[in-house]
Amino acid sequence: MRVLAAMSGGVDSAVAAARMVAAGHDVTGVHLALSKNPQSFRTGSRGCCSREDSHDARRAADVLGIPFYVWDLSDRFRDDVVEDFVAEYAAGRTPNPCLRCNEKIKFSAVLERGRALGFDLVATGHYARLTETTTNGECEVRLHRAVDPAKDQSYVLGVLTQEQLRYSAFPLGDTPKDEVRAEAARLGLAVATKPDSHDICFIPDGDTAGFLARQLGERPGDIVDEAGAVVGHHAGAHRFTVGQRRGLQLGTPAADGQPRYVLGITPVSNTVTVGPKAALAVDRIRAIRPRWTAAELPAGTARGLVQVRAHGEPLPATWTLTADTLEVELDTPAVGIAPGQAVVCYRGTEVVASATIDSTGSAAADADVA
């Protein structure tokens, strides 16, 4: 097969490409240039978008003896990932830019171009597994968690559709990370000891609040308690996310002396509502823009596990999926679930669907109101 290996400049994508070469495929490496000015992205060999990363990817391709190209996707990345990130925060939501990048860039733009150029698969260094099964005489590809739970990335891949999964390969899904590094060392890849990336690539200093302030400007407003009384002030609601405790700088302490947390953000009035940790507990999630991994919509009500953060604990739940919404009922209330985050549904280790959280609620709170 002709395989397009997306090479970020890290150890994972380099070993993934090496495995496709070892399997006998005709492999071509490609690095994605996601910024017009690479120096504006992370430096110091910690990312997937810096100038150093492109050099590391090229050196790995040379060691593997495969052709290597750099594709400029900076305009699309800016429009589909960076501007979406800023707009979501401006709307009081908390987005996941890595998930959006997978959806819009790595498995949309890259896959589209790769298929147009005659490639059969796009291989990446993501930690997830693919299996094949036959349903009604048709072969379907199923997305599963990786063997290494600490590195599992199925959550950020939950936006992929059956059509995208058919043309994807994740060669590392069955391997623990320490074995991947050891394999890279045996192959003579200089990235064998390169640190993993943990930050948002287009915020090189890790200061998300500062980045958003530069994009959106200062928007002073009030911080209020659950009764609507003003207890503090802020320089911009985009500096906060649901569940946040630090940095509130409240002028009026809580009556019981307990710490307060961000309960909600209302962009229309530019207010941030705070309250006790207990008020964060929710067991109802309404999500929009659902995407499912099967060929057909697995509509109806089902039970399984859901995950609301990239490395969050799986939560037992019942969900109802339609073409437009995903309604989730958690068995046990959870805290810190914010609009804008993704909720991903699992059946065992298999990813079923993903959607963007629009709102949350509590059955206990509704009963108290009634």
Residues recognised as catalytic:
101, 201
Contact between 98 and 49 (Cβ < 8 Å): no
Contact between 239 and 247 (Cβ < 8 Å): yes
367, amino acid identity: A
Q: What angle do CA 64, 67, 163 make, to 5 degrees?
A: 100
Interatomic CA distance for residues 190 and 166, integer angstroms = 32
Interatomic CA distance for residues 140 and 168, integer angstroms = 13
333 token code pair: 């209330």
**Taking each helix axis from N to C terminus, what angle separates 11-22 and 177-186, rounded to the nearest 10 degrees?**
70
Nearest to 178 by CA among 146, 151, 156, 145: 151
Interatomic CA distance for residues 204 and 95, integer angstroms = 18
115, amino acid identity: R
Q: What is the DSSP letter of 22?
A: H
Interatomic CA distance for residues 354 and 306, integer angstroms = 9
List, in order, residues 6 or more apart from 48 with CB less than 8 Å away. 8, 9, 10, 197, 201
Helix (H) or strand (E) holding 59: helix 51-64
- SS3 (DSSP) at 233: strand
Beta bridge partners of 31: 70
Interatomic CA distance for residues 325 and 318, integer angstroms = 14
**Taking each helix axis from N to C terminus, what angle separates 51-64 and 11-22, rounded to the nearest 10 degrees?**
20
